[in-house]
Structure 1
Amino acid sequence: MHIILIPDSFKGTFSSEQVIHYIREGFEHHFDDVTFDEVPIADGGEGTVDSIVSALRGEKHLALVRDSLGRLIEASFGMCGRTAIIEMAESSGITKISSKERMPLLTSTYGVGEMILEVLKHDTDEIIIGIGGSATNDGGTGMLQALGVRFFDESGEILEQGGQILKRIRRIDASGIPEELKKIPITVMCDVSNPLTGPKGATMIYGPQKGANDKTLLELEAGMVNYKKILLETVGIDVDLIDGAGAAGGLGAALVSFLGAKLKPGIEVILDLVSFDSMVSNADLVITGEGKIDAQSIYGKVPVGVAGRCLDFNVEVIALVGTEGDQSKVVYDHGINAIVSTIAGVISEEDLTLNAEKRIKESIENLCRLLKIGMKLNK
């Protein structure tokens, strides 16, 4: 029996790699003739570089770049053959600063641009950027500044960094972008569809978690509206018509407008990178999963993304999950054949953490025993 193990992390409990370890351990205990393909998953936020490098047996490299407040830090990126993997959370991530340092008028994506310049030093013919987990709301201006773009105010002065400059931009000079970068295709792992501006835009939806109070939100939103106008005048693109332009505080808009990047759901990028369609054609079973499966799982989440690819190959898909939420059974209409939950009933938050390993092992034990019964009945 050949099984593909491709779960998302159980956020706050297990990484994707840990879930894979537990499943493999359980199946090897119950079955003598089982083999695996193992594909760790990350959604574009923290852990993206590690997951892709692990799945593709690539290499990690370190670079000295600036965090969102301009301090020098070490950040990692991956090289998988000639494909570079960048995780914006490594430089401009919200976990890189304390809660007291969340200041979206000042935080910048400059470090992301520095990481892009770093991968250009390698033999790179494709760049993949995960943009989850940002601390920024600067429209990607910091990244662009690191790449040589200049932003001018109404008096012709060059502007500094951070979300504070957005309302003051009157002209953009993008002539400094390296020519070699313009020739490299860029794919962005982006799992949100927010536009740049408006009530569902980058600022109003994600600004509060990045430290913006009501006054700051209004200032940043006014800046984003101005920035959108200047982008339209400069590159002829209305970024509010592009799903995901508001991702990572507008970084998605900058990547599309000036680097010609393509925004794609993270799971689709991963599946293409690992040649999943070829992999699944030789599989007997696929086990995927996530921390909580519910009605929202059909909108770009890992289990349903995986199951959708399996439909054409008639391969059965089991979702191992932490818990089931409202209307979770809707995923049965999208290629998942069974759900196995590690939690049955209501438990305390303390028990959720303390006994997580025991529960996942017991759930995998039950899954293996049920499969063995099914195999006997099929004879």
Structure 2
Amino acid sequence: MTRVLVAPDKFKGSLTAAEVAEAVIRGLARAVPGLHVRALPVADGGDGTLAAAAAAGFVRVPVTATGPTGEPVETAFGRRADVAVVEMADVSGLSRLPAGQQAPLTATSRGTGELIGAALADGAHRVVVGIGGSACTDGGAGMLQALGARLLDGQGREIGPGGQALQHLARVDLGQVHPSVAGAEIVVACDVDNPLTGPAGAAAVYGPQKGADEAQVALLDRNLARFADEIAVATGRDVRYAPGAGAAGGVGFAAMAVLGATLRPGIDLMLDLLDFEAQVRNADLVIVGEGSLDPQTLRGKAPVGVARMARHAGAAVVAVCGRNTLGKEQLRGAGIDAAYALADLEPDADRSMTHAAELLERLAGELAVGHLSTPGRR
């Protein structure tokens, strides 16, 4: 009997990765009763990272932390043995902005630091931080403050939250950084190679997505440069131009410069955490997925990472998605045999999103006819 592993990412704005997997499995089960099928939702370090970790056996540890605009939010980190998983999007992300109101100058990464600190206090020795979906452009200043760093103005007072406040920074004191940081391995899931500052930096490239206008982008870039100058004085090294320093509004920079973090591609890191190599070992068919299969997918996003490892294990790979703009050759180059899109069943995009689960069940039935009527590759 063909053995199927359903390992999708989320359909953003519509279904979580777990919900996608559940809908696909319902459709497969209806089309092929008794099919041997398992679900392993995945994520690439952004929204859904914590949920994917929980589905793979990590235990959620609840934490009340500071949201991007200072309000308390109920969040969690994942814990398994001595490894913790922190999802920046769930505490300092765009989805946590009250009423969706963007705060490009004042949004803070403090809550992310609080989660890292809570994981360290809980005994974690390895902390994996997914930094996609950030709402802030503060260079990771808030994260460092939460972990004990003192960011002081000319009068020796702590500066306020957000990238705007960095204009008042006169000195960085790292003498009180959380003592467990030095003995921990901190790994950041990061899929961009932007530097902290300059025309390809955090403010210039991602600031507008977080609500910054042209003048605010210029201000934030100057302030991030000031922050990098003071961090270099405090640490004796300057990593502002390191690939990934500009990730998540500069959290990548602070993590490398002060926390000693290493950066790894998000999907590779998450697949390691999920022990995907072992999970896929006996699969004949792997079903990947995300909301949109497009050229961005080919730049190392979840479906391609999963497909690469599935192919290495000898499994066939097909994709489900909301829409697909990739040609057959592009799909084959990414290791995907075929793609099934909700748009093929429902051309109305709004209805496709609101009825995604129902449509996915139907799509899975079509997939079953095309790919489960013959034996697997093994």
Q: Is residue 349 from structure 1 mapped to residue 355 from structure 2 by the alignment?
A: no
Find the residue that maps to 1:145 and give its secondary structure: helix
Instruction: Determine the structure 1 residue equivalent to 2:48.
Output: 47
Greater displacement, 208-217 / 260-269: 208-217
Q: Give the whole-Å Cα distance in 2 for the aligned partners of 1:145 and 1:371.
A: 53
Q: Is the 8 A contact 2:47 2:89 kept in 1?
A: yes
The within-5 A match list for 1:131-280 is 131-154=131-154, 156-280=156-280
Q: Is the 8 A contact 1:88 1:130 kept in 2?
A: yes
Find the residue that maps to 1:259 and give its secondary structure: coil
Instruction: Determine the structure 2 residue equivalent to 1:70.
Output: 70
Q: Is the 8 A contact 2:110 2:146 kept in 1?
A: yes
How far is the alpha carbon of 1:157 from its aligned partner? 4.5
Task: Return the letter of the residue paired with 1:216.
Answer: Q
How far is the alpha carbon of 1:100 from its aligned partner? 7.3
Q: Is the 8 A contact 1:294 1:329 kept in 2?
A: no
Q: Is residue 311 from structure 1 mapped to residue 327 from structure 2 by the alignment?
A: no
Instruction: Determine the structure 2 residue equivalent to 1:127.
Output: 127
Deviations 1:323-379 (A, max 9, x none): 111546413113222222232288233332354344322221111112344349x9x
Deviations 1:19-74 (A, max 9, x none): 21122222223335532332112332333212211222x22122222222222332
How far is the alpha carbon of 1:210 from its aligned partner? 2.1
Find the residue that maps to 1:365 and give its secondary structure: helix
Shift of the 372–337 alpha-carbon distance from structure 1 to 2, 3 Å rule, reads closer
The within-5 A match list for 1:9-48 is 9-48=10-49
Q: Give the whole-Å Cα distance in 1 for the aligned partners of 2:185 and 2:349.
A: 44
Deviations 1:203-226 (A, max 9, x none): 112212323222221111111122
Q: Give the whole-Å Cα distance in 1 for the aligned partners of 2:17 and 2:45.
A: 13
**TM-score normalised according to structure 2 size:** 0.91
Instruction: Determine the structure 2 residue equivalent to 1:296.
Output: 296
The structure 1 segments of at least 4 consecutive aligned residues displaced by more than 6 Å after TM superposition are none
Q: Is the 8 A contact 2:20 2:357 kept in 1?
A: no
Q: Give the whole-Å Cα distance in 2 for the aligned partners of 1:155 and 1:357.
A: 57
Greater displacement, 175-184 / 356-365: 356-365
Instruction: Determine the structure 2 residue equivalent to 1:8.
Output: 9
How far is the alpha carbon of 1:176 from its aligned partner? 0.9
The within-5 A match list for 1:276-287 is 276-287=276-287
Which sections of structure 1, spanning at least 5 residues, go unmatched?
none
Shift of the 27–73 alpha-carbon distance from structure 1 to 2, 3 Å rule, reads closer
CA RMSD for the aligned pairs?
2.4
Q: Is the 8 A contact 1:149 1:173 kept in 2?
A: yes
Which sections of structure 2, spanning at least 5 residues, go unmatched?
none
Q: Is the 8 A contact 1:202 1:247 kept in 2?
A: yes
Aligned residues: 376
Q: Give the whole-Å Cα distance in 1 for the aligned partners of 2:271 and 2:213.
A: 39
Q: Give the whole-Å Cα distance in 1 for the aligned partners of 2:4 and 2:189.
A: 26
Greater displacement, 155-164 / 138-147: 155-164
Q: Give the whole-Å Cα distance in 2 for the aligned partners of 1:64 and 1:13.
A: 26
Shift of the 93–373 alpha-carbon distance from structure 1 to 2, 3 Å rule, reads closer
Task: Return the letter of the residue paired with 1:168.
Answer: H
Q: Give the whole-Å Cα distance in 1 for the aligned partners of 2:90 and 2:178.
A: 23
Shift of the 283–8 alpha-carbon distance from structure 1 to 2, 3 Å rule, reads same
Deviations 1:132-188 (A, max 9, x none): 222211111111111111123455554333212323334321121122221111111
Q: Is the 8 A contact 1:67 1:91 kept in 2?
A: yes
Find the residue that maps to 2:121 and give its secondary structure: coil
Shift of the 116–281 alpha-carbon distance from structure 1 to 2, 3 Å rule, reads same
Q: Is the 8 A contact 1:130 1:190 kept in 2?
A: yes
Shift of the 166–271 alpha-carbon distance from structure 1 to 2, 3 Å rule, reads same
Q: Give the whole-Å Cα distance in 1 for the aligned partners of 2:147 and 2:114.
A: 7
Q: Is residue 59 from structure 1 mapped to residue 26 from structure 2 by the alignment?
A: no
The within-5 A match list for 1:320-335 is 320-327=320-327, 329-335=329-335
Greater displacement, 13-22 / 327-336: 327-336
Q: State the identity as a percent.
A: 34
Shift of the 275–349 alpha-carbon distance from structure 1 to 2, 3 Å rule, reads closer
Higher relative contact order structure (alpha carbons within 8 Å, sequence separation ≥ 6): 2
Find the residue that maps to 2:77 and give its secondary structure: strand
Q: Is the 8 A contact 2:9 2:289 kept in 1?
A: yes
Greater displacement, 291-300 / 23-32: 23-32
Q: Is the 8 A contact 1:4 1:283 kept in 2?
A: yes
Q: Give the whole-Å Cα distance in 1 for the aligned partners of 2:16 and 2:101.
A: 27
**TM-score normalised according to structure 1 size:** 0.91
Q: Give the whole-Å Cα distance in 2 for the aligned partners of 1:74 and 1:50.
A: 15
Q: Is the 8 A contact 2:134 2:249 kept in 1?
A: yes
Deviations 1:91-143 (A, max 9, x none): 22222223674333222111222222212232312111111222211111111
Instruction: Determine the structure 2 residue equivalent to 1:364.
Output: 364
Instruction: Determine the structure 1 residue equivalent to 2:105.
Output: 105
